[in-house]
Amino acid sequence: MDRKFYTFFEMPYDRYNFHKHTFCIFEERPLAEISGLRANHISRSGSSYFFTTNGVYRLSDHWGRAAQCKWRLESREKKSGLRLGFALWTAFHPDNATDKIYFIHYDIASSTVSYQHKNQLNPDETKALFSATDVTKRIREIRKLLASEGWARHFETDITWLRETLILAITSEGKTLQQAKTGLLR
């Protein structure tokens, strides 16, 4: 029998292991997609799971941290309540608290920031990698940069340029906000 041995980062996910320390971005779908289907699994927290050959539907009122996982729901609208998401099995990636497996994605057009798994990184992009704790800290710093202008009063330059320069130093070079600001003063 010919067996393929997978490394930790190549592990294929399916209905039996997708819920064990994974990161995934689910795409919001209309409830009509599961109309008439019966849940294959209902978690203790009340989330329902519908398995398909290609992936999984999750019907839940909570997203983000789910037990041992980081599952985000991508949606056009910010709303609460019961929502349906779908993810292909190939969208699941291994997660842990210590390895540097996350990078920061900043969308200039919408001024939004999020973290992504390194397995989603485009080969032509250069991004710093962070642990789960560090990526959370850096995102908090970037969101403060975007939310206020008081921090920029000591700089005599365009705030848009300042923000983009600081965010680039954080996301591409792995600097802290303080290190990035210090670099501007030199």
| Cα dihedral value 162, 166, 168, 169, nearest 10 | 140
- Read off the pLDDT band of 11 (50, 70, 90): low
Joined together, the tokens standing for residue 143 give 């969101």
- Read off the pLDDT band of 93 (50, 70, 90): very high
Expressed as residue numbers, the domain containing 24 is 8-94
CB 150 within 8 A of CB 112: no
Residues 128 and 77 in one domain: no
Question: How confident is the model at residue 6, as a pLDDT?
Answer: 45
CB 63 within 8 A of CB 85: yes
Residues 77-84, mean pLDDT to the nearest whole number: 86
From the list 43, 98, 39, 105, the residue with the least C-alpha distance to 72 is 105
Enumerate residues 6+ apart whose C-beta is below 8 A from 152: 159, 162
State the pTM of this model: 0.81
- Domain limit, last residue, from 94, 119, 147: 94
Domain count, the chain: 2
Question: How confident is the model at residue 37, as a pLDDT?
Answer: 94
